Amino acid sequence: MSETTLNGATRPAAPGTGTTYAILLAISACHLMNDLMQSLLPAIYPMLKANFALDFAQVGLVTLTFQGTGSILQPFVGIYTDKHPKPYSLVVGMGLTLSGLVLISQAWSYPVLLLGAALLGSGSSIFHPESSRVARIASGGQHGLAQSLFQVGGNAGSALGPLVAAFIVLPNGQSAVAWFAALALLAMTVLWRVGTWYGPRRLASTGHKRAAVNGVVLSNARITGAMVVLITLMFSKFIYMSSFQSYYTFFLMDRFGLTIGEAQVRLFVFLGAVAVGTVAGGPIGDRIGRKYVIWGSILGVLPFTLMLPYANLFWTGVLSVLVGLILSSAFAAIVVYAQELMPGRVGMVAGLFFGFAFGLGGIGAAVIGRVADATSIQYVYHLCSFLPALGILTIFLPSMKEERA
């Protein structure tokens, strides 16, 4: 087993550090359960909008509360756990998710609904940085593969959320959300076992090194510039993704006259394509280089996003699948690229990018809701279709020759 470095060289992995697929699959499964529970919230927005007589701006505020809470807390959690890894903090994070889920199911007013959304975000703020660190430790040097396996669990859970909402929650009402607390308890049990494995290995994730390209150590200014570019690319990706996750069902219902159930099924198809694209992005980045994956994912999706607002129902479905496949392949590549720019700060990078994703999604949902109220939901999709053009900024990332033995 060997490990790829930023200067293109390979070095042997330490003895006993081969890829631990059992841990990767366990973390991915818990990510699936975590994100399935969390995706129930946006999936039942049409029901909540009717129950609480909300406008689009208030729907956006729910997303901002949920994703904004995770955005603010995650980088700080990552910075702290870089210095003080907490093997069993994963169980605590899942417990917060469980509490938020139960509170949403019983919410009797809009402020209580916002409180439940905040608890969901807090659970994610703990789960994502530490579980990303576990995935890297278990990777055995295959960092892109490990990050993809970890992330695809979350994407699969997000894809299942609308389907579960359409066939279980919507027919049975808001209180049916509480039925999924059993998933949280199962995830907490698995994460306790993961924490037991992770405990003796937690020191392997500490220690700070400097990134290098072609044997030359990168300056702080070069690293900062690269991080700014990566964050900008995440901006274009997640604002666009937020328009789908929060408002795609409304778009389909408004333009094509679909029922809530029919629109939820099409959202499930889109999120399923996101899951498939996530699986592919990491291993391809390990093999051909992460910069190429980022180029192809962000900028390569632009023609399809530009065509989507003008397509009929059939081609809207086709284009949404292509957009999900291509755009999602960038996430693992961006996260691992950033972790290699800042070795030894795995938790901070994971917290920053997962948190930034949550924050951008929340801000994007709130802004998009305001724009939709002022104009129309169809205008929003015309406006967002230009966001992937920011992918041209990939040209400013340091060029790295990445090889695998």
What gap in Å lies between CA 24 and CA 194, rounded to an integer? 10
Tell me whether residue 2 is in a domain.
Answer: no
| DSSP per residue, 317-344 | HHHHHHHHHHHHTHHHHHHHHHHHHSTT
Do 264 and 290 meet the contact criterion of CB atoms below 8 Å apart?
A: no
Burial (CB < 10 A; 0-12, 13-18, 19+), residue 51, is middle
Between helix 21-43 and helix 110-137 the angle, nearest 10°, is: 160
| Within-domain flag for 143 | yes
User: Phi/psi zone of residue 155: left (φ > 0), alpha (ψ -120 to 50 degrees), beta?
Assistant: alpha
Tell me whether residue 402 is in a domain: no
Q: What is the pTM of this model?
A: 0.68
Residue 303, domain CATH: 1.20.1250.20
**What integer pLDDT is reported at residue 16 of this predicted model?**
44
Total domain count, the chain: 1
Q: What confidence score (pLDDT) does residue 186 get?
A: 93
Residue 219 CB contacts under 8 Å (≥ 6 apart), including other chains: none
CA 112 to chain CA centroid, Å, is 25
Backbone angles phi, psi at 9, to 5 degrees: -85, 165
Q: What is the DSSP letter of 107?
A: -
Q: Does residue 3 belong to any structural domain of this protein?
A: no
User: Can you give the C-alpha Rg of the chain in angstroms?
Assistant: 20
pLDDT of residue 190: 92
Residues with Cβ within 8 Å of 71's Cβ and at least 6 positions away in sequence, in order, are 121, 355, 356, 357, 358, 359, 360, 362
Euclidean distance between CA atoms 244 and 262, whole angstroms: 15
Question: pLDDT in tens for each of the 405 residues of the chain?
Answer: 444 444 333 333 443 457 788 888 999 899 999 888 887 887 778 778 778 877 777 887 887 788 777 777 777 877 787 777 777 888 888 989 888 888 888 877 888 888 988 888 888 888 888 888 888 888 877 787 888 888 888 877 877 877 787 788 778 777 778 888 888 899 999 999 888 887 766 555 445 555 555 445 677 788 888 888 888 888 778 788 877 777 888 888 888 888 888 888 888 888 788 878 877 777 777 777 777 888 888 888 889 989 988 899 999 989 999 998 888 887 778 888 887 787 767 767 777 777 666 566 667 767 877 888 888 888 888 888 888 888 888 888 886 544 333
In a domain, 239, yes or no: yes
| Domain membership of residue 306 as a residue range | 13-396
Helix (H, G, I), strand (E, B) or coil at 393: helix
Residue 405 lies in a domain: no
